[in-house]
Structure 1
Amino acid sequence: MSYQGNWQERAACRGEDPELFFPVSEMGPGARQVAQAKAVCARCPVRAECLQYALDTGLDHGIFGGTTDAERRKLVRRTRAEAA
């Protein structure tokens, strides 16, 4: 997939503190941070492109396309299982 066309320039997270999208944990205060980051993603016009970018490049930390790294790993496993 090509990432040209500067989809990142249309991302809802532009202008947000990048730290918001890299919680230390998904529990306790981190859960609130994950929810806040996902709320930004929920209103993003390029959420699908962001998720595909994270999947294609193997990003394994942070919130991308409205998913956590654990959710992306689960999605990859499910996709591979369905393809098998």
Structure 2
Amino acid sequence: MSELFELLIGEGIEEEEEEFGWQERALCAQTDPESFFPEKGGSTREAKKVCLACEVRSECLEYALANDERFGIWGGLSERERRRLKKSAV
């Protein structure tokens, strides 16, 4: 029974690492997080510049859309831009 439990737990951890492993490779994890959550009316230019060079940009955007992230720059898009994208996809 113990081995089965450990096997199931191990599979769950692997699935979670696979699902969220992209976050470890994200360039934003290596930069100032405040630039990705600017105050209302603040510039998003620097955050979007980082996103353009990020290898996991599409995974990030997919995560934000799937989880209805309402704040910050995700996958190179602001909340308003993500909302527009969702509306155009419907």
Query: Does TM-score exceed 0.5, indicating one fold?
Result: yes
Unaligned runs of 5+ in 1: none
**Shift of residue 25, structure 1, vs aligned partner:** 2.2
Q: Quote the RMSD (CA, aligned, Å).
A: 1.5
Match for 1:21 among 23, 31, 36? 36
Normalized per residue, the structure richer in helix is: 2
Match of 2:66 in 1: 56
1:75 and 2:88 correspond: no
State the distance in 1 between where 2:33 and 2:20 align: 22
Please give the secondary structure, in 2, of the residue aligned with 1:14.
helix
Please give the secondary structure, in 1, of the residue aligned with 2:28.
coil
Residues 68/5 of structure 1: CA separation in 2 closer, same or farther (3 Å cut): closer
**Shift of residue 5, structure 1, vs aligned partner:** 5.5
1:65 and 2:80 correspond: no
Percent identity over the alignment is 46
The letter of the residue matching 2:23 is Q
Dislocated runs of 4+, deviation >3 Å? none
Unaligned runs of 5+ in 2: 1-15
